[in-house]
A and B are shown apart, each in its own frame.
Chain A
């Protein structure tokens, strides 16, 4: 426990927050890497996931690709790409590694969001004469949003955790005090850096948990307030047949 005190002292010391190598710079680098890579991955994966969800085609390919992607260690991929791209293009190598890491979660978030929608809702939209594009933009995307935000949440957390190893190839970020501290045997520094990454990850998780709640379209959430009795009954009936993980459940309940 003594070490934890020392680590907190190290974290709070004004010296850590000064100059170009200060913790605020490292935090900024860490967040910049995360935002840039999740944004690029999102531009690729979200439209692709929506296409899979809307057409129902290509799902097996996406699942298979995600399985293979999970088997590839990001740490090794980062080093391989750094060696291939050359020393001058290290940031590009890191961004590509993290983009590949983020794609499977985003893709799954996009298409499972569509799959969780009650088919009757989509059939009703089609029966009302909506075009496929209208169904996509007015029905599927809004209703699929909570699960998509869930996908973005897990992609962000995976990337935040993995950006830590970017320091190993001298790209900065909050992994820097951990890697430097390890070499110097300064464990207060190592633990201070580790605590900071862990706290950042937890904070982001809380923010995205809130965003996920906010992503439920207004009309869908409103049903609960207007007809509490009916929804409560529906939830009871759902309970045993629902096979999705905990947090999905709350969203699906609100959708039903």
Chain B
């Protein structure tokens, strides 16, 4: 544990870098998934292609994507933007399906009731559909957040510095503690962000505080993992 104590400053600054890179990707991915998921849910014709395409995207190995992306976009492979774009794409790949499933899970009676009360389609979407789809979308967001934070470490292989540095550097210098510290830091950040998302979810969606309903969301999260 000596190594960790002596290098706590390094671990801290790498953690901040890591957190910044992954949070941008998670946030942008989330913001892109809502409209994409809505389009796929609303128009049956595009649903198949959108869900299949985003699913295929997820099968491309990260190291491969980090190398293919620069060719398509013209960015430098070793730039931070490259890693963030790749993580964003994976985030979209996981979350679009979550948004579609979430909107599917809304009781059609609630939607009809809103229409009957005179809600326009935009207001109905933001005031009824989106909040009711919230628990399922949140489950997808949590999976995305945790896997993005853990996946970001691969960035060091193309030269983007983050907590992955502790892995490559630790291997070169044969310091087990350094690698261990890296894993611990990544896991702690991932679990902390996950916890934060749960708390935000409870704050924004007070009705999910009922344990029975939140169990449904958990069930969904594990199913999503299978797919």
Contacts and interface: CB of A to CB of B under 8 A. Distances in A.
B82 interface: no
A76 B191 contact: no
Given A63-B218, A73-B150, A240-B104, A205 B225 contact: no
9 contacts: A1-B71, A63-B221, A66-B222, A68-B191, A74-B150, A154-B226, A245-B101, A245-B224, A246-B227
A157 B158 CA distance: 22
Contacts of B225: 66, 70, 104-105, 108, 154
Majority DSSP secondary structure for residues of B touching A: helix
A234 interface: no
Contacts of A67: 146, 194
A109 B224 CA distance: 10
B154 interface: yes
A108 B179 contact: no
Interface in B91-125: 97, 100-101, 104-105, 107-108
Contacts of B183: 72-73, 76-77, 80
Contacts of B179: 76, 79-80, 83
Interface of A: 1, 3-4, 62-63, 66-68, 70-77, 79-80, 82-84, 104-105, 108-109, 112, 115, 147, 150-151, 154, 157, 160-162, 164-165, 168-169, 175, 178-179, 182, 187, 190-191, 193-195, 197-198, 201-202, 205, 239-240, 242-248
A165 B225 CA distance: 22
Given A112-B222, A165-B63, 15 more contacts: A1-B71, A63-B222, A66-B225, A67-B146, A70-B143, A70-B150, A71-B146, A71-B194, A73-B164, A73-B182, A80-B176, A109-B226, A194-B63, A197-B64, A245-B223
Contacts of B151: 73
A248 B220 contact: no
A82 B6 CA distance: 24
B131 interface: no
Interface residues of B, number: 60
A151 B226 contact: yes
B104 A72 contact: no
Contacts of A75: 153-154, 157, 164, 167
A187 to B, nearest CB: 8
Nearest to A83: B176
Contacts of B64: 161, 164, 178, 193-195, 197-198
B39 to A, nearest CB: 15
Contacts of A201: 59-61
Nearest to A203: B59
Contacts of B104: 239-240, 242-243
A164 B62 CA distance: 9
B171 interface: yes
A239 B47 CA distance: 14
Contacts of A240: 104, 107-108
